[in-house]
Amino acid sequence: MKEATEALSWEELESLKEKDIDLINGPNNSYSLLRLFGQDKSSIRVILYRDKHAWCPYCQKIWLWLEWKRIPYQVRKVTMRCYGEKEDWYLRKVPSGIFPAIELDNELITESDQILINLEKVFGPLGMPLQKPEILNLRYLERKLFRAWCIWLCNPSFNKGQALRREGQFKLIAQEVDDCLATTTSKWIDPSIANSSQSLPGSIDAIFIPYLERMNASLTYYKGFELRKEFSNIDTWFKALEQLDEYRGTQGDFHTHAHDLPPQMGGCWSDNNKHQKSLSHQIDIGYGLDKQESTYQPNKIDTPAKIALKRVLKHRNQIKKVNPLDDELFDQPLRAALSKMILQQTFTPSIGSALGLRYLRDRVSVPRDMPLLSARAFRKALEETAQLDGPTQGPPIPIRNRFDQNPFNFASQSQ
């Protein structure tokens, strides 16, 4: 058995990683640049342009729609302005720089709702057509909930009464969504039927998913308000979604959303109550909030850790390069954390490594880097390894931009 200070070598770690999966035809994932669903490459009619970090909520709903319809498509990833400079080639194609965009039979289309309408015309609806009155009413409800969330999350409250009114207005509209889910005869707001007769989410589910996911994360982190505990039907809906690999491939976690939203939204305001501080601390140190984030259980208990290991091994040179510790100094602490994650044993990191370990803990991005459960396993190992060295924290996560997440340093590595 290895001594506590003798972390596994890179060669030993390589032997323990998860096996490769079929990125093109297998489960949905954030790395593939091509999705075929068993069809020939010549069948591709769609190119999806989305952000490299998979942070954009409007990209997520198009991505989900294509996955649930099993439409072959290519992916081209573009830098989001909040974490770097947008590529010139994309600005020549889309001068506004907005996301998402698609090319459908060589025709460029922007604005996510317009994209869905055009996709529906060519490939048929996912559930009820988007222009049906019932769906239009639900789209209006989604926008109402979005506005109430923004008012509560993105504006300072000058007194307790104002804060309570904003919370009350959000809860009132969220109850409408919960009531809507209570009346459906399936798991979904508007089910669609796959070729296998399996019930899948419809277009309106894909429209609700991105911001309900971000509301769940941000209100927990900044307000101490646990959406899934408050609204049982929304919780049941999330639980059903988490069993679908199409959704899990796009799903972010609380840590990622809590820290990617401020520059996108123009700021997020904390309530600074005792419950909020406790929840946000658990998120920040990487332990997460268990079933409030995801109820999915993989077939093998060690699979998330092995997937995390595989992803880190692929990018380890770039990970060490951007770390505030010297490349050579960070090598052993990184191996110690990975060894801890895989073997569930304690490996002592080199002295002065806590800063680098916590820097990395704070910058694991879901789903860009790895799936939610894998990130939870990796962040926990990084934090517990850092605790052996001391309390030193890494550089704070920026709130006005996320230039610390600039993908330029990883540009030489695809997927």
Q: What is the pLDDT of residues 105-142, one digit of tens each?
A: 999 999 999 999 999 999 999 999 999 999 999 999 99
Q: Binning pLDDT at 50, 70 and 90, where does residue 185 land? A: confident
**Residue ranges matching CATH 1.20.1050.10 in the chain:** 133-292
Tell me the C-alpha to C-alpha distance, in Å, between residue 248 and each of 206, 209, 369: 13, 12, 13
Residue among 1, 73, 66, 3 at smallest CA distance from 36: 73
Instruction: Out of 3.10.20.90, 3.40.50.2300, 1.20.1050.10, 3.40.50.300, select the CATH number for domain 133-292.
Output: 1.20.1050.10
Averaged pLDDT, 259-267: 94
- Say if residue 1's pLDDT is above 60: no
What CATH class has 34-123?
Answer: alpha beta
Measure the CA–CA gap between 415 and 125, rounded to whole angstroms.
Answer: 30
Using a pLDDT cut of 90, give the percent of the chain over it.
90
CB 185 within 8 A of CB 176: no
Q: What is the pLDDT of residues 281-329, one digit of tens each?
A: 999 999 999 999 999 999 999 999 999 999 999 999 999 999 999 889 9
Q: Binning pLDDT at 50, 70 and 90, where does residue 406 land? A: confident
What is the pLDDT, as a whole number, of residue 372? Answer: 98
Reported pTM = 0.94
Q: Which two tokens stand for residue 379?
A: 């962040």
What is the pLDDT, as a whole number, of residue 4? Answer: 58
What is the pLDDT, as a whole number, of residue 410? Answer: 65
Give the pairing type, strands 46-51 and 34-35: unpaired
CB 82 within 8 A of CB 404: no
Q: Label residue 105 exposed, middle or buried (CB < 10 Å: 0-12, 13-18, 19+).
A: exposed
Q: What is the pLDDT of residues 21-48, one digit of tens each?
A: 999 999 999 999 999 999 999 999 999 9
